[in-house]
Amino acid sequence: MNIYVGNLSYDIKEDELKELFGEFGAVESSKIISDRFSGKSKGFGFVEMSDESEGEAAINALNGSNLKGRNIRVNESKPNAGRQGGGGGGRSSYNQRRY
């Protein structure tokens, strides 16, 4: 089960997140998402737990709880099926003048 953890303190470490969720069962991985350029935390992350019932117990117990002065948001992570990369606003010929 993949779990989203939001509103995290910017100084929390992946090991701390893993330890917190480890109280509810086996944690396969924990990941804090950081800014690609600065390397600073974006304030959210993901925890993967192998057992779904343990993951649900962690969600129910931790959602809204206080962690390092912030009330964290914890819920099951949903895949971004409708999300597509790219962007550009459909301006494929932008700045391609022909003379």
The conformation of residue 52, written as its DSSP 8-state character, comes to: H
**Radius of gyration in angstroms for the set of CA atoms belonging to the chain, rounded to a whole number:** 18
Domains and CATH numbers, the chain: 2-76 (3.30.70.330)
- pTM, 2 dp: 0.78
**Rounded Cα–Cα distance for residues 12 and 44 (Å):** 10
As a whole number, mean pLDDT of residues 48-56 equals: 96
Q: Which residue has the higher pLDDT, 67 or 85?
A: 67
Tens-place pLDDT, residues 8-43 = 999 999 999 999 999 999 999 999 999 999 999 999
Show Cβ contacts of residue 72 under 8 Å, excluding neighbours closer than 6 positions.
Answer: 5, 6, 7, 8, 62, 63, 64, 65, 66
pLDDT band at 4 (very low <50, low <70, confident <90, very high): very high
